[in-house]
Amino acid sequence: MPYHLFKCSECIPEREKHAVIKGKGEDISMALPLGYLNTIPGTISERGCAYCGAKHVIGTPMKDVIHLSHGPVGCTYDTWQTKRYISDNDNFQLKYTFASDMKEKHIVFGAEQLLKKNILDAFAAFPNIKRMTIYQTCASALIGDDINALADEIMEENPDVDIFVCNSPGFGGPSQSGGHHKINIAWINQKVGTVDPKIDADYVINYVGEYNIQGDQEVMMDYFKRMGIYVLSTFTGNGSYDDLRAMHKAHLNVLECARSAEYICNELRVRYGIPRMDIDGFGFEPLSASLRKISLFFGIEERALAIIDTETARWKPELDWYKARLMHKKVCLWPGGSKLWHWANAIHEEMGVDVVSVYTKFGHQGDMEKGISRCEEGALAIDDPNELEGLEAMETLQPDIIFTGKRPGEVAKKIRVPYLNAHAYHNGPWKGFEGWVRFARDIYNGIYSPIHQLSLLDISKDEIPTDQGFVTNRMLSDANLSEEVRNDPNLHPYTGNYDNVSHLRNKKYPEFPRAEKDTSVA
Amino acid sequence: MNDEIKSNAEELVNYIMKKCLWQFHSRTWDRKRQNEHILDMTARMIYGEEIKPTTPEEKCYWADAMCLMEAFNNHFGWLQKMDRAKKEAVMTALKDRIDFLTVTGSLNLELTDTHY
Ligand code: SF4
């Protein structure tokens, strides 16, 4: 597999080892992009900082917590409300964010007293919330404020509150991934094992590396509940602080995003003997295999099979309607870290699209091993691309759509390439069987948007046709389909509701008789 | 190893690399452990043995192995038609190749990091 140096990066020759083209018959032992390294000076990276990785990605999806950043207000503001990790408690963690608002004078004279006042004020403002996370930033790390000591002092003075301190300043790693690592390890060191839960269930899991983007976690919880599996904690989307202190009592760690949360699973395996099972919540086949694996672990296979059969029968005809219309559309799969491997094979096989490039902003080489293995020959794999490389790749590969973050996404739009938000989704959730159809619908709407078609015309030079009426996306997508496919009575577009999550919050589930009454766990 | 065994094993390798995640745990020792247990159980079930896992750790390997064994039988009809000796040759070649791709021949510089 040849390494690839972008034309625009010829002046930064080190970049060559960060991009690889998957050639015919070649494999990951022949070439693998470097990863998780400091961004090379001179290349304008699209990464986030280690504080952002800890706070925004992992910490703040916890729902019943005051999330307070000790630093200038900018760090907090820029990591607020840009990811849609909703929760079933009226989105407390999305609505409110807290900052100690450090200024220059605090850099000179210290900011511990300022922080203490802020902590007490925040608890006073929200008297029903008794849990807090505090995130260090570059500024508070550089002046050496002892946040842990202060948190201990406050917990001693206020025994009803509990505070978690995450020391992951922005400079604490090459990218947000450094922050994922730090908060994983800090949580298990500080908090796991400090709550002893009462468990009245036979089958107990931690659902790890799941952030409830637009309701992903709640969709998966629905399946687990239908299988009679008790989810002790979710790390961390829609997750509860105290539940996460009890992670040591689960029978199995079901790991979704290994990039952001494999560390805590590995430590839970070593320290508490809880096995780690990696799963895919995206795609009919990978999700079915994942539900089966979990059910096999607990010996309740028939419960998983019932769900798989029901959901597949309900949603497959809709997925296949989109597949017929997305066949061989070219996709650049350019997410942050884990979705390049979660999606690379599943979107190709189940939606018919061709993945012409995968990239990762903050992934490690392990993510590239998975991603390159899962995509087809000819794909271009890029680690930590800069904006010019992204543009060059789009000009060369001519994708029909890209899946990426909103910053590179807006760049793509400027050169008339539609994009879907891979981090926060468009009309998610995209997990689950129905979610996968919603994803296909978003891809379809992105590629065949009539507005997008109009944007391809440049009014400064192109002739604007005046003899054509407005076309619909259906007219565009069906133009080249055979009569048989176009009118296939078994296939139809998405028929689900606008909101397919809220109703799950009041849903009644079957009660499964206990297999054994012993509440001690393995 | 003859070419037929090699190309048979390669089909199975390709399936694992496209569909599975268990072979890509974080560190060398984890990958070796995963490959050894999951592929050993898969092979034994392909040979017709019944496996009864008892510990949580064994159950976790077994769940992945069960899914893999069934997928192999569903997608690669030739495997079931082979005699035991040929099956063993294919499964040994498969294990060697997965070990190579994920451990001994892996270019992943993080595999030997002593911490998680
Ligand atoms: S790099 Fe430092 S200053 Fe910038 S947002 Fe991150 S923590 Fe704040």
Q: What's the CA-to-centroid distance between A136 and ligand 1, angstroms?
A: 9
Which structure tokens are listed for A408?
Answer: 């590179």
What would the pLDDT profile of A43-100 be if each residue is shown by its tens digit? 988 899 999 999 999 999 999 999 999 999 999 999 998 889 999 999 999 999 999 9
Q: What's the CA-to-centroid distance between A79 and ligand 1, angstroms?
A: 10
Query: Domain boundaries in chain B?
Result: 3-15+29-105
Q: Mean pLDDT throughout A484-496?
A: 96
Q: What average pLDDT does chain A have?
A: 95
A51 CB within 6 A, ligand 1: yes
Do residues A372 and A22 lie in contact, with contact meaning Cβ atoms separated by under 8 Å? yes
pLDDT of the residue at A456? 87
Residue A515 above 90 pLDDT?
no
Residue A490 above 50 pLDDT?
yes
Q: Do B116 and A262 touch (CB under 8 A)?
A: yes
pLDDT of the residue at A337? 87
First-last CA distance in chain A: 46
The four Cα atoms A56, A59, A63, A64 give a dihedral, to 10 degrees, of -130
Counting ligand 1 atoms within 8 A of each CB, the residue from A38, A47, A49 with the most, and so the one to mutate, is A49
The CA distance from B95 to the nearest CA of chain A, in Å, is: 16
pLDDT of the residue at A48? 92
Which of A262, A277, A285 is facing B60, going by the closest CB pair?
A277
pLDDT of the residue at A517? 52
Measured between beta carbons, the chain B residues lying within 8 angstroms of A376 are none
Counting ligand 1 atoms within 8 A of each CB, the residue from A137, A145, A176 with the most, and so the one to mutate, is A137
Do residues A424 and A83 lie in contact, with contact meaning Cβ atoms separated by under 8 Å? yes
The four Cα atoms A452, A331, A219, A490 give a dihedral, to 10 degrees, of 80
Q: Helix, strand, coil: what percent of chain A each, to 5?
A: 45, 15, 40
A424 CB within 6 A, ligand 1: no
Q: Mean pLDDT throughout A324-343?
A: 96
A286 CB within 6 A, ligand 1: no
The mean-pLDDT minimum among A410-419, A464-473, B79-88 falls in A464-473
A80 CB within 6 A, ligand 1: no
Q: How confident is the model at residue A522 (pLDDT cuts 50, 70, 90)?
A: very low
The CA distance from B3 to the nearest CA of chain A, in Å, is: 16
Measured between beta carbons, the chain A residues lying within 8 angstroms of B113 are none
Do residues A296 and B62 lie in contact, with contact meaning Cβ atoms separated by under 8 Å? yes
Q: Do A370 and B18 touch (CB under 8 A)?
A: no
Q: Mean pLDDT throughout B98-113?
A: 97
Q: Which of A281, A374, A358 is nearest to B14 (CA)?
A: A374
Q: How confident is the model at residue A516 (pLDDT cuts 50, 70, 90)?
A: low
Q: What's the CA-to-centroid distance between A497 and ligand 1, angstroms?
A: 40
pLDDT of the residue at A453? 85
Do residues A237 and A61 lie in contact, with contact meaning Cβ atoms separated by under 8 Å? yes
DSSP state of A465: P
Interface test with B, best of A32, A297, A374 (most B CBs within 10 A): A297
pLDDT of the residue at A465? 86
Measured between beta carbons, the chain B residues lying within 8 angstroms of A22 are none
Q: Tell me how far apart the alpha carbons of residues A491 and B48 are, in angstroms, rounded to a whole number.
A: 40
Q: Mean pLDDT throughout A429-447?
A: 98
Q: Tell me how far apart the alpha carbons of residues A340 and A80 are, in angstroms, rounded to a whole number.
A: 25
Measured between beta carbons, the chain A residues lying within 8 angstroms of B21 are 258, 278-280, 341, 370
Q: What's the CA-to-centroid distance between A306 and ligand 1, angstroms?
A: 48
Q: What's the CA-to-centroid distance between A181 and ligand 1, angstroms?
A: 17
Measured between beta carbons, the chain A residues lying within 8 angstroms of B67 are 289, 292-293, 296
Which of A263, A297, A341 is facing B59, going by the closest CB pair?
A297
Residue A518 above 60 pLDDT?
no
A137 CB within 6 A, ligand 1: yes
Residue A249 above 50 pLDDT?
yes
Residue A520 above 60 pLDDT?
no
* pTM recorded for the entire structure: 0.96
Count Cβ–Cβ pairs < 8 Å, chain A vs chain B: 98
**Atom number of ligand 1 nearest to Cα A138:** 2
A166 CB within 6 A, ligand 1: no
Q: How confident is the model at residue A469 (pLDDT cuts 50, 70, 90)?
A: confident
What would the pLDDT profile of A250-282 be if each residue is shown by its tens digit? 999 999 999 999 999 999 999 999 999 999 999
Q: How confident is the model at residue A191 (pLDDT cuts 50, 70, 90)?
A: very high
Q: Mean pLDDT throughout A375-400?
A: 96
Q: How confident is the model at residue A388 (pLDDT cuts 50, 70, 90)?
A: very high
What would the pLDDT profile of A86-132 be if each residue is shown by its tens digit? 999 999 999 999 999 999 999 999 999 999 999 999 999 999 999 99
Residue A34 above 50 pLDDT?
yes
Q: Do B57 and A275 touch (CB under 8 A)?
A: yes
Q: What's the CA-to-centroid distance between A256 and ligand 1, angstroms?
A: 27
Counting ligand 1 atoms within 8 A of each CB, the residue from A45, A52, A77, A362 with the most, and so the one to mutate, is A52
Q: Do B107 and A262 touch (CB under 8 A)?
A: no
Measured between beta carbons, the chain A residues lying within 8 angstroms of B116 are 185, 262-263, 266-267, 270
Do residues A358 and A373 lie in contact, with contact meaning Cβ atoms separated by under 8 Å? no
Kindly indicate whether the ipTM for this predicted assembly is greater than 0.90, answering yes or no.
yes
Residue A521 above 50 pLDDT?
no
What would the pLDDT profile of A344-368 be if each residue is shown by its tens digit? 999 999 999 999 999 999 999 999 9
Which of B60, B100, B108 is facing A369, going by the closest CB pair?
B108
Residue partners of A74: CB distance under 8 A and separation at least 6: none
DSSP state of A45: B
A169 CB within 6 A, ligand 1: yes
- The Cα-based distances of B6 to A27, A45, A373, B13 in angstroms read 16, 42, 19, 10
A79 CB within 6 A, ligand 1: no
Q: Which of B106, B114, B18 is nearest to A374 (CA)?
A: B18
pLDDT of the residue at A1? 63
